Chains A and B, each alone.
Chain A
């Protein structure tokens, strides 16, 4: 199974700052089938990015994804108050099991 390792575990930033979250895979992620989800307390995860860099429907353009192969990045260009949450990366595609990273918490500094 592909193991996804996210870093850092926690990111302490102020509103308006830029957030850069990393996701590293233990093996190449084929076709860049890498997704990012946002989860706020008491809520289910929400899909933000798929295909490593495509925004899901309704996701603001301050969220962007990049990367390929084994190294992927989620960037939030300017943090809004509602962006403080936990973010997960996930490998999807034709071959389960589909695995998640352990999450990065973006907290208010």
Chain B
């Protein structure tokens, strides 16, 4: 069974940093592109960042480009999101999601249960 377990969320002050992790199991991690998607009550679902199986393709939403950095460690079956210069509008539930196609397609399945990030002073 595919499992994605996010961690690292919490309460952080504006301007500070946070690093999210996603532990993957139940599939061949180094064959799969991976993504971070966030959800807020106000803005709904927003793709944040994605990375191809070997890190050769990386993408970011305009709202986080230059502040967030995605990475992966295939030896550890883990995905990361380094979030710097956090803003209140980054407050959201952050999901880790596997790309369900055989390429970097932005089709998400399955998703983890999410980790909550709250940016507030």
Contact = CB atoms under 8 A, between A and B. Distances in A.
Given A88-B45, A100-B45, A94 B110 contact: no
Interface in A16-67: 33, 35, 37, 43-47, 50, 56
Interface stretch (B20-28, B73-81, B83-91, B100-108): B100-108
Interface residues of A, number: 24
Given A46-B109, A46-B111, A47-B107, A100 B100 contact: no
A107 B50 CA distance: 33
Nearest to A35: B107
Nearest to A102: B44
B62 interface: yes
B105 A97 contact: no
Contacts of B112: 44
A97 B62 contact: yes
B91 to A, nearest CB: 18
Would you call the interface of chain B mostly helix, strand, loop, or mixed? Answer: strand
A27 to B, nearest CB: 16
Given A50-B100, A96-B59, A97-B62, A56 B47 contact: no
A103 B45 CA distance: 9
Given A88-B45, A96-B47, A97-B62, A44 B114 contact: yes
B106 A93 contact: yes
A97 B35 CA distance: 12
A72 interface: no
B47 to A, nearest CB: 5
Interface of A: 33, 35, 37, 43-47, 50, 56, 88, 90-94, 96-103
